[in-house]
Structure 1
């Protein structure tokens, strides 16, 4: 799972850099929020979580790790696509898009809580 998270994070990294490149070359910064969230929650967070799971592979067998994985990787794209459409269309009052960002954000938050639970409850000091 650690390796899989690192691979997925590299996809988020490419997407985030492409959005940043587009914004800097076009001087249109409408998608700044999407760019930042994809880089932080996709690239940075999932890379660090993947490294943690590589260092402590016993954590990956926990149910909370699998729940985190799916909640995070379903919620983040839903939240980012909804937010991008809202920002690009300027329609910040669209109920389906508001629900998409809220549901996606809630899934990511719940996923992060499952990750933190996994770390706090299951991570043990290695014996020397």
Structure 2
């Protein structure tokens, strides 16, 4: 699980960096909130979770770890795609931003529960 999270975090890092690169070339920074969230919730958070799961393998071999992985990687893309549309002026995507954000938040709570319960 730790290695899986580290690998998927590298994908988020590439996406976040690509988006930042595009914004700097185009000199338009409208998508900055998307860029920041992809790098923080995708790259940074999942890398750290992967390291924790790797150092404490008993926390990685749980249903909570699997649930965390899947909810995080479903919720985050939904939230980021919808947020991109919202900041570009398509307010009708706000509900999808909230849905993706809620799923991601639940994933984080499950991760915290798993760490508190299984990291010793």
Deviation at 1:85?
Answer: 1.5
In structure 2, distance between residues paired with 1:24 and 1:83: 19
> TM-score with structure 1 length normalisation?
0.91
Listed as ranges, the gaps of 5+ residues in structure 2 are none
**Mapped pair 1:29 → 2:25:** no
Report runs of 4+ in structure 1 exceeding 3 Å deviation: none
Distance in 2, matches of 1:84 and 1:55, equals: 35
Please state if 1:4 is matched with 2:13. Answer: no
Whole-angstrom distance in 1 between the partners of 2:65 and 2:5: 11
Corresponding residue for residue 58 of structure 1: 58
Query: Which residue does the alignment assign to 2:76?
Result: 76
C-alpha displacement of 1:91? 2.1
In the alignment of these two chains, the number of paired residues is 120
Q: Structure 2 CA distance, aligned partners of 1:71 and 1:15?
A: 19
Distance 1:108 1:18 in 2: 22
Q: Which has the larger radius of gyration?
A: 1
What 5-or-longer segments of structure 1 have no aligned partner? Answer: none
Matches within 5 A, 1:1-128: 1-88=1-88, 90-92=89-91, 94=92, 97-124=93-120
Equivalents in 1 of 2:110, 2:68: separation in Å? Answer: 5
C-alpha separation in 1, matches of 2:37 and 2:69: 17
1:122 and 1:91 map into 2 onto residues whose CA distance is 42
